[in-house]
Amino acid sequence: MAERAPVDAHSTLRNALKLGGSLLVTYVIGFGLQVLVPRVLGPDSFGQYNWANGTAAAFFILSALGLDVYIRKEVALRREHASEFLGGTLLLQGVLAVGLLGALLVMMRLEGTPPEVRALTLALGVYQFFFRLNAILAAVLHAHEKVDGLSLAHILMKCLWGFGLGLALLLRAPLPWLAVPFVAAELVKTGFLFHLTHRHAGLRLRMDVRATGAALMTALPFFINEAALATNGRVDVFVLGLVANTKEVGYYGAVWGIAGLTMLLSPILGWVLLPMLSRAAASSEEEFTRILRRGLEGIVSLSVPVTLALALGAETWVHLLIGEAYLPAAPVLRLLAPIFVLTYVATVCASWLMAANRTWTVTRTSVLAAGLNLGLNLVLIPPFLAWRGVTGGASATATSLALCEVVVTVILVSAIGSRAWDARSLAVLGKTLGACAAVTAAHLLMGRLGLDSSTLPRGLARLVVDGLLYVSLILLTGAVRKDEVLGLVRLVRNRRKPPASTEPPAAEARAA
């Protein structure tokens, strides 16, 4: 039996900080372009671009095979295992990609999609193949806790992508050219990641039919779960474009880009948390539960204030970031904002259940949510369009997604039961919600007293007051403890120094 790697919270946190640092750089570039693209293209052309991106991603859900999640769980315990199946799965993915591109082309011709949108969608399909392949290679490095080169790869890829897309926008290139930087950046990243996995993880691509089949069967629940999760974020865009129009897709996609700011930690959770929980489950039941509770507590503390700021300042953020042309979509941003707290909680709970070998619980929940989301979109979009007119379809899609996230979160938390929370985390949750209620009341009162969001300076001033009040309340009530914040700052500052103790401090436990 292979030797089990011990749970090293210091190493895990250092890896999270490295990945977080690289993600911060890439998010700055990505977010800058995410607000520039809708500004330059306008709602109509941006709607076509966003529909092409969402449709390509929806079709290529099938190409991931659930391997990245499987690798983080299994290769974290058996580090040589990746070489046994990746050669065979890579071949299968290539065959699937060709078939999916063909199916995508047939569908668009039957729907009468304009030629330039067809070309853009097919090119983005190629991008999706390499994007998902790179996620699998990155998972091998996460499982081996070798993330230094991976952090560099994120930055280089995003710089290449950002420069190319910015140049295409500057030159007012036709829509299909917007996909070229995506494909080029992922191709470069693929070559770099193959080098890193060979060097740091000893990865060798070889054909082993039995090992490949066994890996695919074990990864099946991960695959179904991942496909269902991706369906919630991609198929709704595809359906919105078909049932409503691409302009609605433009409004929805533009404010989704703003709301995506709150998902900065999502990749880190997926990359770091599941391997850490898998090792904890194999070595210490007490540690396994502790990571879950402190993870939920920390994620609520971090995500709630950002979500609150988005919801209260929806008009201000839309005006500031993507321009007045998208102001009708501000209510859609307000509907999307609470989703991300739920998504974070569900992600932590799902990782714990997977590490506890209850993967099918997560999978069934995700499949239920995917079916519910599709059905709600089909039912709600037509009446919302009649009721709200412009952005009615986008509002229906946001409402559908919010309802699905509520269902998913309730089911996953219930599946874990009392192990998910203790008195400390429930106290933090209560204090945080109380602070949110107080800030919301103050925000509405300022509007009644004349400090409204009719102009950008007034809206920003109102948000600054909201932020100061929130920080004051959480510190006064102890929802976030000052000693833990200072401890985390010291840990970040000294992250290159060896840990002085084998027992992780409370701040590190919260961050993990």
At residue 488, the pLDDT reads: 44
| Cα 303 → chain centroid | 13
At residue 496, the pLDDT reads: 40
Q: Which residues of 351-379 are buried (b: 16+ CB within 10 A; e: fewer)?
A: bbbbbbeebebbbbbbbebbebbbebbee
Where is pLDDT greater, at 259 or 105?
Answer: 105
Residues 43 and 251 sit within 8 Å (Cβ to Cβ): yes
At residue 200, the pLDDT reads: 67
Q: Is 3 left (phi over 0), alpha (psi -120 to 50) or beta?
A: beta
The predicted-structure confidence for 56-105, as pLDDT tens digits, reads as follows 887 887 777 777 777 766 666 666 666 677 778 788 888 888 999 999 99
Average pLDDT over residues 387-412: 89
Lowest average pLDDT, out of 109-113, 115-119, 224-228, goes to 224-228
CA distance 57 to 34: 17
The predicted-structure confidence for 409-458, as pLDDT tens digits, reads as follows 999 999 988 888 888 888 888 888 888 899 999 888 888 777 666 677 77
| Dihedral Cα 256, 262, 268, 269, nearest 10 deg | -100
At residue 106, the pLDDT reads: 92
Residues 247 and 43 sit within 8 Å (Cβ to Cβ): yes
Average pLDDT over residues 209-221: 80
The predicted-structure confidence for 325-346, as pLDDT tens digits, reads as follows 888 888 999 998 888 888 888 8
What ranges do the domains of the chain cover?
9-421
Type of residue numbered 434: G
| Cα 419 → chain centroid | 25
pTM over 0.75: no
In sign, the C-alpha dihedral spanning 486, 492, 497, 501 is: positive
Local structure of 147: helix, strand or coil: coil
Average pLDDT over residues 44-59: 85
The residue written with tokens 């293209």 in the block is 41
Computed over every residue of the chain, the mean pLDDT equals: 77
Average pLDDT over residues 301-310: 85
The predicted-structure confidence for 147-198, as pLDDT tens digits, reads as follows 566 667 777 777 788 788 888 888 888 889 989 988 998 888 888 888 887 7
| Per-residue tokens: 356 | 């506890």
Residue 32 has pLDDT above 60, yes or no: yes
Of 259, 350, 268, 262, the C-alpha closest to 306 is 262
Q: In 3-state terms, the chain is what percent helix, strand and coil (to 5)?
A: 85, 0, 15
At residue 497, the pLDDT reads: 44
Residue 402 has pLDDT above 80, yes or no: yes
